[in-house]
Amino acid sequence: MNVRLYLWQRATAALMAPLVLIHIAVIFYATRQGMTAADILSRTHGSIAWASYYGLFVAAVSIHAAIGVRNILTEWSPLRDRRAGQFAVAFGLLLAALGLRAVFAVVLS
């Protein structure tokens, strides 16, 4: 971990604090209401607000989780900086790809 990775990880963490709180509220609401897929999708379809919110969330968590995984790999596995960094980037890209696909799925499909 150096100053650059540190700042990216802490900045995405701070950004996600309110996003997570909103997400927990959404989960509580949706599960209590016993929402069906139709209920959910009718709210998210074509919604710029939901697309922006979850798009931002996906971008932030992809960076944050990738750097976190990189730290765990360098400290707890035999991998060193370069390899751990490569694995982390791959993982971050996977999260971003699957995440943006999920956002697309609920907003546009």
Partner 1 sequence: MLAELSVSLWRGAQQGRYETYSVPQRESQTVLDVVTFVQRHIDPTLSYRFACRVGVCGSCAMTVNGKPRWTCRTHVAKVAGSGRIEIGPLENLPVIKDLATDMQPFFEKWQQAKGVFAPSKTRHDGIEQIRPDSPVRVAADAAIECINCGVCYAACDTVRWNADYLGPAALTRAWTLVNDERDAGNAARLQAVSETGGCHACHSHQSCQELCPQALNPTAAIAALKRRTAAAYLKREIKG
Partner 2 sequence: MTTGVVKHRGSALWIAAMIHRLSGLALAIFLPFHFLALGLAIGGEAKLESFLRWSDQPLVKFSEGGLVFLLTVHLLGGLRVLAIENFDWRDGQKQLAALAAAVSVVIAVIFLVRVF
Binding site for partner 1 (CB under 8 A): 1-7, 74-76, 81
Tell the smallest beta-carbon distance from residue 15 to partner 1 (Å).
16
For the chain, how far is it from start to end, CA to CA, in angstroms? 39
Answer whether 61's CB lies under 8 Å from 97's CB. no
CA neighbor of 55 nearest in space, from 21, 93, 100, 11 = 100
Residues between 34 and 63 that touch partner 2 (CB under 8 A): 35-38, 40-41, 61
| Sign for the pseudo-dihedral over CA of 79, 81, 87, 91 | positive
Shortest CB 16 distance to partner 2, Å: 8
Residues in the site for partner 2, rule: CB under 8 A?
10, 13-14, 17, 20-21, 23-24, 27-28, 31-32, 35-38, 40-41, 61, 65, 68-69, 72, 91, 94-95, 98-99, 101-102, 104-106, 109
